[in-house]
Amino acid sequence: MKPIQVGLLGIGVVGTGTFNVLRRNQSEIERRAGRGIEITMVADLDVARARASVGPDITVVSDARAVIANPDIDIVIELIGGYGIAKTLVLEAIAAGKHVVTANKALLAVHGTEIFAAASAKGVMVAFEAAVAGGIPIIKALREGLTANRIDWIAGIINGTTNFILSEMRSKGLDFEVVLKEAQRLGYAEADPTFDIEGVDAAHKATIMSAIAFGIPVQFDKAYVEGITKLSSQDIKYAEQLGYRIKLLGIAKRRPEGIELRVHPSLVPSKRLIANVEGAMNAVMVQGDAVGTTLYYGKGAGSEPTASAVIADLVDITRLHTADAAQRVPHLAFQPDAMSDLPILPMADVVTSYYLRLRVADQTGVLAKVTGILADAEISIDAVLQREADEVGGADANQTDLIILSHDCAEARMDVALARMQALTTVLQPIVRIRKEELA
C-alpha cells in the first residue's frame, strides 16, 4: 500500500526529531502501523534551515497553506506553537479534510472546544499526545489504558524548566533568580521563560488532562495558576526539615461539587516517588478507583522524546483513519454528547492543607495568638516548627520564623485566618503560604 503522506508545519527541534526518528525506525514503524508513514512536505519560514534538516528529497516551502492545499497530504503535523497563526492553520487543515497532529498545548487548552468540534464535524482526528508531558504517553494512558476507571485525581510535574529550577534551588541552596539564569544558559529555560515560571505552561497541560480525565470541556480560563517566582530557598529548606519537597504541581481533582483545577507550588512528602523526580524530568500521578495510584515518568520535552509522542499519533491515525469516525477513540476520551457540566471550582472552595511561614517578633504570647486565630477558623494544626531566634534573626536576634503545617481546610477559611494573622503587630513580614498535597 502507498505510504501515508504527512506534511509538517514548522521544523524546529521537535520537527527535526520527528523527521529523524521516522526515518531511523521506518521499518519498525511500518510493521506496527501496517503501512509506511512518510513526511513528504515541510513548511517553514526558514526554508534554508528546513532544507538542511530534511535533505534534498523532500518538498520544502515557506507557505504552510501550500501543505494544507496539497491533495496528496493525509496528515498535517502542526509544530508552530502559540494561539495565533497555528490556530488558523489547524482549522484550515481540518476544513481541508486533513487529520492533524499537534504538540500545541496552549492552542488546545484555550481553543480545544472549537478545534475538536470542527474536527468531529469534518470526521477527522486531532491527536495531541505530545502536548502533555512530552514523551510520556499520558494522553494514551488516561484516554485508553485507564478507561475502566473513575479518575479521582491527577497530580503532575508537567513543566521540566520549573522542576529543574526547584531541584537546583534545593540541592544547592540557591535563590530562584540565580538558578533561572543557569537554566537559560543550559537551554532549559526560554529567553522569555514567563509561561514556564509563572505556571501557564503547566496549567495548559493540566487543563487538557482535566478534560480527558473527567469528560469536561477544556477550560483554561478557569484554572488557578501560580508559578514559582516567589519561592525562597529558605522555604524549600524548612519544608525539607519537615519531611517535604516543594514541586510545581498541576492538579485536577474530582469533588462532588465540581473539579479543582490548579497549578501552584506544593509541598509533597519526600517519601513519595514523585517528590524524587528531579531535574527537567516530568511525572504524572493518576488515581483511579479501580487501578489505585499510578505514576508515569519520563522526559517532558526535547527533540526525540517529543517526536516519540508525535509519531505515536501518526501511527494511531494511520491505523484508524479508514475506521468509521464514530468508532474512533473520542478526542477527549468521552463521547462528545456525554460530556459533563461539572463546574471548575473557584479557588476559595478548594480544600487542601498548608505550609505557613510567619516572621514574628520573638515575644511571649505570639504563638498563642497565631494558633488562637487558626482555632477560631476551625483550622487544625498538623505540625509546628520554630527556629531559634539567633538562627534566623542574625544581628536582629529578636525575630524568629514560625512554620505551621495545617490539616485540610477550605481556602476561603485559610484566607480569613491569614488576614487576621497578618494584621498582628508581632507578624513582621508578609506571611508565606504554600499549599501541601499528601498524594496518598
CA R_g for the chain = 24
Distance from C-alpha of 239 to C-alpha of 180, rounded to nearest angstrom = 21
The phi and psi torsions of 434 (rounded to 5 degrees) equal -125, 130
- Provide, rounded to whole angstroms, the least separation between the CB of residue 220 and ligand HSE: 15
CB half-sphere exposure, 381, CA atoms < 13 A: 17
Question: Residue 16 Cβ, how far from ligand HSE at the closest point, in Å?
Answer: 15
Residue pair 156/126 in contact by the 8 Å Cβ criterion: no
Query: How far apart, in whole angstroms, are the C-alpha atoms of residue 183 and residue 289?
Result: 39
- CA-based max dimension of the chain: 83
Residue of 87, 98, 205, 253 marked active site: 205
Distance CA 343, CA 365 (A): 43
CB closer to ligand HSE, 159 vs 318: 159
- Provide the binding-site residues for ligand HSE, judged by CB under 6 A: 159-161, 196, 201, 300-301
Closer to ligand HSE by Cβ: residue 283 or 414: 283
* Nearer residue to ligand HSE within complex by CB, 159 or 207: 159
C-alpha cell at 420: 487576621
Give kind and range of the element (H or E) at residue 205.
Answer: helix 200-214
Compute the least distance from the CB of residue 306 to ligand HSE, in Å: 8
How many whole angstroms separate alpha carbon 256 and alpha carbon 399?
A: 44
Shortest Cβ 87–ligand HSE spacing (Å): 18
CB closer to ligand HSE out of 40 and 161:
161
SS3 per residue for 292-333: EEEEEEEECCCHHHHHHHHHHHHHHHHHHCCCCHHHCCCCCC
| Residue whose C-alpha cell reads 539564569 in the numeric block | 181
The three cell numbers locating residue 46: 526558514
Q: How far is the CB of 18 from ligand HSE (least distance, A)?
A: 15
Give 99 or 204: the residue with its C-beta nearer to ligand HSE.
204
DSSP 142: I
Phi first, then psi: give them for residue 346, nearest 5 degrees. Answer: -65, 155
Place of cell 474512533: 328
Q: Which helix (H) or strand (E) holds 233?
A: helix 233-241
CB of 194 to ligand HSE, least distance (A): 11
C-beta of 40 vs 266, nearer to ligand HSE: 266
Q: Indicate the residue among 10 and 160 with the shorter CB distance to ligand HSE.
A: 160
- Per DSSP, the chain holds a count of helices (H) and strands (E) of 16, 17
Min separation Cβ 118 and ligand HSE, Å:
24
- 205 labelled catalytic: yes
Distance CA 416, CA 338 (A): 39
Catalytic residue annotation: 205
